Chains A and B, each alone.
Chain A
Amino acid sequence: MHRLSYLTAVLVFFFVSCGGGDQAKENQQRQEEIKAEVQNEVEQGLDEGEEEEFDFVMPSALQITSIFSRQGAEFNKQYTNELSNVNNYLTKESKLLNLGVYTSDLCYCVLNNQSQLSIEYLKAVKKISEDVGMASIFSSGPIFERFENNIGNRDSIIYIMADLQEQTDLYIKRSDQEHLTMMIFAGAWVEGMYIGLQNTENLKQGNDIVPRIVEQMTLLANLIMGLELQPAQTEKVQKYQEMYLDLRAFFENIEGVNLETFEYDLSKITDEDLMKIKDKVSEIRNSIVSVNS
């Protein structure tokens, strides 16, 4: 009887291991396909007409995160995306969105003087950039070395972060891939908002963070337009478009908010509205960072 259980265990282990191996192989193959897919898009590029449809300039992840960091809340690692997730995103869309998410997490760590964690998040940003064929952002200069050498010097690190953003923008511009920026931005924006909202103990009218949250919400119109202009309207792109649209619709229905003119009356936004925004932002963010997304 004992022998039989032992044999069963060995067999189960054997099959599970084989299955795991197949899974790993499949994942690796999928990663290669995504890299080739993005590379192919990069080679084709948008034409000038398509490029001009992106007639707006979005703020950087560093700027979004810094707006909330000014509020003085304590750093909390549990609001960032797990580093171990970085290898588990298997579609081009989830990689681009999570590149934005990790970039915001990196900025959050940097702005809160989390030296070691900043290096870990920079590694995650580098890894996911390579996965989507943007390795050249890091090869254009010794960003990693500069980052490590200046760790502890907040001002220098922030300067390097701005450089990294610039390299990303230039890479995307040179390859006429403005639409990729919008996917990355969609991830960065929601992560910045998520951290800001989670980090606020007293999310109520009168809190200094409320005007910051509301002004971020006015960026939604451009963010959604950026998703609508994606040349490949995959199921995943449409799914997130719907989620952001739902958030926008909620915000737009608040009395005193006019997203056509980007005007709003802060006094009309209730505590319940703020909680609802927090829930909806969490829902989008958790769906993006989920490895099954």
Chain B
Amino acid sequence: MKHKLFTLILSGLAIFLFSFVIKGGKEESTENDTCKRDESVEKCKGDLNPFRYSGVKTTHIVSKPYDQIIEVAMPLYFDTEYRFVFNLDGLNPNIKVEVYDKTQRDDSRKKLFESSAKHFQYEPDPSLGLNRLYINYVVPPVESSGESETIEKGCVVFTAGYKNV
């Protein structure tokens, strides 16, 4: 009985020490989230006028050591004028917003618009007769510093407005 208890305590101690060694080998990462969704939405809304609010989409961006393209699809109605307002406050200034007529899976797609500003608007040309637009957030890689790592996070707020009610 005494022997069993001793073995149990010893294994518990071993597990504790092992986990301590594992944890000690790598620094814990911290997060720096710059997303201020509500403030960004307010800013975007202000610029939608005189277009009528239709929808909002927040896309969270987490910087990675490799390139990323995050795609958001926006269905369009024929004969309707749209205005899109983007806000990228707090994000890496090298992030680009590109707008295409087709998805990134389609090689024949055409780029309709591009910007790397922090806050801007875009009005697609209704005469193009598109029924979808594809918004690509092109996120460049961030170099890992090795030891203590800070994960950079933020968000793009995209609001859509339309005319013709």
The answer on A and B forming one complex is: yes
Q: Which 9 A-B pairs have the closest CB atoms?
A: A56-B73, A162-B53, A48-B60, A66-B165, A57-B55, A57-B57, A57-B74, A162-B52, A166-B53
CB neighbours (8 Å) of B37 from chain A are 173-174
CB-contacts of B108-165 with A (<8 A): 131-132, 158, 160, 162, 164-165
5 contacts between A and B (CB under 8 A): A57-B158, A58-B75, A158-B165, A162-B52, A219-B75
What CA separation (Å) do A262 and B162 show in the bound complex? 21
A-side interface residues, number (CB < 8 Å): 33
CB neighbours (8 Å) of B70 from chain A are 52, 55
* B37, closest chain A residue (CB): A173
CB–CB B158/A262 < 8 A: no
CB–CB B73/A59 < 8 A: no
Chain B residues engaging chain A, CB cutoff 8 angstroms: 37-38, 41, 45, 52-60, 62, 70-75, 77-78, 102, 106, 131-132, 158, 160, 162, 164-165
Chain A at the B interface: SS class: helix
CB–CB B73/A222 < 8 A: yes
Selected from A60, A66, A215, the residue in CB contact (under 8 A) with B131 is A215
CB neighbours (8 Å) of A63 from chain B are 54, 77, 162, 165
CB–CB A56/B131 < 8 A: no
Given contacts A62-B165, A111-B165, A262-B132, contact A51 B78 (CB under 8 A): no
What CA separation (Å) do A58 and B102 show in the bound complex? 17
| Closest Cβ–Cβ distance, residue B163 to chain A (whole Å) | 11
CB–CB A57/B165 < 8 A: no
What CA separation (Å) do A293 and B112 show in the bound complex? 45
CB–CB B53/A215 < 8 A: no
* B71, closest chain A residue (CB): A55
Selected from B53, B75, B77, B78, the residue in CB contact (under 8 A) with A56 is B75
Q: Does A141 contact B (CB under 8 A)?
A: no
What CA separation (Å) do A111 and B165 show in the bound complex? 9
What CA separation (Å) do A57 and B58 show in the bound complex? 10
CB–CB A170/B56 < 8 A: yes
Q: Does A267 contact B (CB under 8 A)?
A: no
CB neighbours (8 Å) of A159 from chain B are 52
CB neighbours (8 Å) of A165 from chain B are 53-55
CB–CB B56/A173 < 8 A: yes
